[in-house]
Structure 1
Amino acid sequence: MPQAKLTIGELEAGYPMYCKALRRLLQQGKSAKEIERTVCWGHLETLNRCLPTRYKSPSYLLALIRRDIEKPESSG
C-alpha cells in the first residue's frame, strides 16, 4: 500500500503535535531507539532536513524534552 505524502505545509502545521507526541513517548518511558521508529520522529526529521534553520533535529528536541521532564520542580 503506497504511503500518503504530506506537504511541507502539512508537516509544519503538525509540528506542535509531533513535539507533544515526543514528550508523551518520553513520559511513557520509551527508549530512544523505540522513539526513533515512530511516525512523529520521521516527520520531525523531514522538517529538520528541509528547513534546518526553522526546525531543530529530533535528537536535539528529545534531549531538551528529556531535560525538561527530569528537571526537579523548583520550590519557591
Structure 2
Amino acid sequence: METTKPSITIGELEANYQLYCKALKMLIAEKRTLNKIQRTVCWGRLETLHHCLPRHYKSPDYLYAQLVKSQTAAIS
C-alpha cells in the first residue's frame, strides 16, 4: 500500500503568500523569462491562491506585470 503526503492546504498557501511574491520579484530581478517563471513552484502556488480565492489574491500574470512595471520605474 502506497502512502502519499497530503497536498498543501489553502491556509499554508496563504501563510506563505508574501514568500511567493518575494520569490517572484527575485526571479524578475534575475531577468528570467516569463516562460521560465511560469514553470516555478511560486507561480503555481500563486495561481492556486488566485483560483481558490480570486477576491483576495490577484493572478500571477497581474502580479508579474506590476512587478516588472515597478522594477522598470525604479531603474529609470
Q: TM-score, normalised by structure 2?
A: 0.89
Unaligned runs of 5+ in 2: none
Find 1:34's aligned residue among 26, 33, 36: 36
Superposed displacement of residue 3, structure 1: 6.5
Runs of 4+ displaced beyond 6 Å? none
Unaligned runs of 5+ in 1: none
Amino-acid identity (%): 49
Find 1:24's aligned residue among 23, 26, 30: 26
1: CA distance, partners of 2:5 / 2:60: 22
Question: What code does the residue aligned with 1:14 have?
Answer: N
Give the CA RMSD over aligned residues.
1.6
